[in-house]
Amino acid sequence: MIYTVTFNPALDYVVWLDSLLPGRINRARREAVQYGGKGINVSTVLHNLGVDNVALGFLAGFTGRALEEGLREAGLRTDFIWLPQGLTRINVKVKGRDETEINGQGPAIGRRELLALQDKLDRLASGDFLILSGSVPDALSQDAYEQILARLEDRGIQFVVDAAGPLLRSTLPYHPFLIKPNRLELEELLGERLEDGDALHRGAARLRELGARNVLVSLAEKGSLLLDEAGGCRQLPAPRGTVRNSVGAGDAMVAGFLAGWLESGDYGYAQRLGTAAGSATAFTDGLATGKEILDLLRQL
């Protein structure tokens, strides 16, 4: 089974404007509510590709109830922990000539709730996949992911980590099956600019030396770079299309890669499906459907 963990889920309130005028009343041309948080995005795209999984995380208040009901109506399996106070955050995504985001802070997570998450994760078995995605609330330690991996080490669980900075770096000694930094996150981890393909290759190789088994670097309109544990190195260009959305594209790439690997055991196919999933999401107003991903896969 695949499990995703989202520490800070969100209701994304998305509005499309013809123009944004600060200090004035702005009227939306269109609006939508989407169910967000990086791990939840991964769960949704896995579900869209027909891959069973369970979404874990923390919810609170009436916004949390709306998020959970929406995911269940969409057919996703969930097993959230409820917080006694606060509200699951609402993020405002403004789509116009440029994209503007206002992300909520989210509720506080207490020690009791963290222990409840540990209890759920202790039930994972050998062969299960655990996907840790995104940031953690400011009140939590930046080694929160490391603590989870240390507790589950040597249990035969495959770890996937999509995070940035110290949160990601601290997990590398536990040999995650997959990490997926983007170019900027890779540069920040290494403390240097990576100007060309050779530099990107050396940067990804450095993360493999530090412990990651497979390093998938998302490169936006330039596709992806994969260094796999079998010694392969592939840079795959992105398919052609009009970018309409940047939210969730990296999460979709993680979901597509894992779905492709589970289907075929082939890293090349996993990278193609991951790149198709990320691009298909970038070409739509939300997370891509399975049909949209498979249609785009045929271009690769």
Per-domain boundaries in the chain: 2-7+38-58+108-297
Residue 49: per-residue pLDDT: 97
Q: Is the pLDDT of residue 242 over 90?
A: no
pLDDT tens-digit series, residues 126-160:
999 999 998 887 767 778 899 999 999 989 999 99
251 a catalytic residue: yes
Residue 92, H or E segment:
strand 89-95
pLDDT tens-digit series, residues 59-88:
999 999 999 999 999 999 999 999 999 999
Mean pLDDT of 228-239: 90
Q: Which pLDDT band, with edges at 50, 70 and 90, does 118 fall under?
A: very high
Q: Is the pLDDT of residue 41 over 80?
A: yes
- Mean pLDDT value across the chain: 91
pLDDT tens-digit series, residues 164-220:
888 899 999 999 999 999 888 888 888 778 777 788 888 889 999 999 999 999 988
Determine if the pTM surpasses 0.75. Answer: yes
- Cβ neighbors of 273 (< 8 A, separation 6 or more) are 49, 256, 257, 259, 260, 263, 293, 297
Sign of the torsion angle spanned by Cα atoms 50, 52, 57, 63? positive
Report, in this order, helix, strand and coil percent for the chain, each rounded to 5: 40, 20, 40
CA distance 249 to 283: 9
Considering the four listed CATH numbers 3.40.190.170, 3.10.20.30, 3.40.1190.20, 1.10.3720.10, the one that applies to the domain covering 2-7+38-58+108-297 is 3.40.1190.20
Catalytic, out of 12, 162, 228, 251: 251
Scored b (16 or more CB within 10 A) or e, 73-112 reads eeebebebbebeebbbbbbebbbeeeeeeeebebbbbeee
